[in-house]
Amino acid sequence: MLYGCSIQIQSKGDVMPDLSLSLKPRYERMYIELRARLRQGLYKVGDKLPSEKELMKQFDVSRITSKKALDMLVQEGYIVRQPGRGSFVIRADEEPTRPDPAGEPLDPREQAAARRRPANKQIVIGLILEDFSDSYGKEMLAEMERTAQRLNVYLMIRLSFSQPTIEENAIRSLREYGVDGLIIYPTRGQSFSSEILRLVIDRFPHVLVDRYFKGTESASISTDNIEAARTGMNHLLDLGHRHIGLLASKVTDNVAIEERIEGFVRAHAERGVVLDRSYWLTDLAWNAETEAEELQHVRGNVELIRRMVEQHPQMTAIFAMQYELALFAKEALDHAGIRIPEQISLICFDSPQASAALYPFTHLQQDQHSLGRLAVENVLKLIAGDTLPGRISLTAELIDGLSTAPAPNVGSNAGGNRNT
């Protein structure tokens, strides 16, 4: 599929007019050309269109693409499709288009999005997730599916596994298939991908979940990460902790992590507590292509955390910006013989429901149910032509577990020095 340039589609034997079709998927280009033929009188009311196989050959497209183009003609009231007989023209005149606020006519996709779909039209939403786990994502995905079932729409799911290339291919493939809208949990990155930018340019209905991209018009639903981190920090500060470590994945990889660190810093400033960046580890990673590499990363992270803790005996608390990092920290503290929470308190974002097999961390619990529900409801609003606020922020709840306690030796000069 070609984007970003002015394209003229040619059916075999026909030279098509330049319709300025840049940035449009192939099914829409095919739809526009077929509609032009109808309006030019090449096909009249009552005529039978070429078969789907013939159209596939003419336009050199897949069956899915051809079907989607014909479906658009059905939706616009130009043709009717009769199983076993073919597609017949029922209207060939040009229908006036509804202008947008700027006075320019909307293109066919925008017109379709601006109208409520008929009750019998099955809406399909593409869902692209970076990944999901018990700690985060699983409940959000379940709520998306529950909401989709309740609203009688279908979800088509693809996982990117944190790979931007897979994400971009998934966006292209789902649009080519003909989904009505997209929900995207973007791969890590502060800069938006070219495919998401094309969604904005095309005004294609889409909602970003968990993250947002600065400087774009994409609707997004995410946690207020700054406020959540401030809440977690204030919990530790209220317990008397003043020497607090920070664990995060690579800061440049994730705008959510960047905001959590901003909340961490703000809380220090608001409470007049000195910030010591030597207590920070912000380049931790554990994703890898093989299990062996991942295990190596995990062991490396545990060792880095153990060394940092031993080099800073005055540290009495650690704030992990992700649940997985809290697991690494717990393992590092266990290896070092440091008791949680008697000697070091530990707090993190997200945590699976506590059970006999899981350690109940004190954590900031994101509202995954609202994230999932609102993602589906809001992309449907965009499909129907409604407007949305650029960003919807949700509140995280502090869940008090067993991993935090008052700082040891509060009031001593050491501030809880484990060597005193």
What confidence score (pLDDT) does residue 216 get?
64
The candidate with the shortest Cα–Cα distance to 130, out of 117, 118, 140, is 140
pLDDT score recorded for residue 102: 37
Question: Are 182 and 25 a contacting pair, CB within 8 Å?
Answer: no
Q: How far apart are CA 409 and CA 420, in angstroms?
A: 9
409's enclosing H/E stretch is none
Distance CA 236, CA 33 (A): 63
Give the per-residue pLDDT at 241. 97
pLDDT of 288: 62
- Taking the C-alpha atoms of residue 156 and residue 273, their distance in angstroms, rounded to an integer, is 48
Full set of structural domains in the chain with CATH: 26-114 (1.10.10.10), 124-223+368-394 (3.40.50.2300), 225-366 (3.40.50.2300)
Contact at 8 Å (CB) between 48 and 82? no
pLDDT of residue 110: 40
Of 218, 213, 223, 133, the closest CA to residue 182 belongs to 218
User: Residue 7 half-sphere exposure, CB side, CA atoms within 13 Å?
Assistant: 19
pLDDT score recorded for residue 356: 52
Per-block mean pLDDT, blocks of 10 residues, the chain (420 long)? 34 41 73 88 85 88 84 80 77 51 40 41 88 80 93 91 87 91 80 78 90 72 95 98 93 77 97 95 77 82 94 96 94 95 96 71 94 95 86 93 88 49
Q: Which amino acid belongs to residue 354?
A: A
Written as one string, the DSSP assignment of 33-89 is: HHHHHHHTTSS-TTPBPPPHHHHHHHHT--HHHHHHHHHHHHHTTSEEEETTTEEEE
What's the confidence (pLDDT) of residue 6?
31
Instruction: Say how far residue 235 (Cα) sits from the centre of its chain.
Output: 29
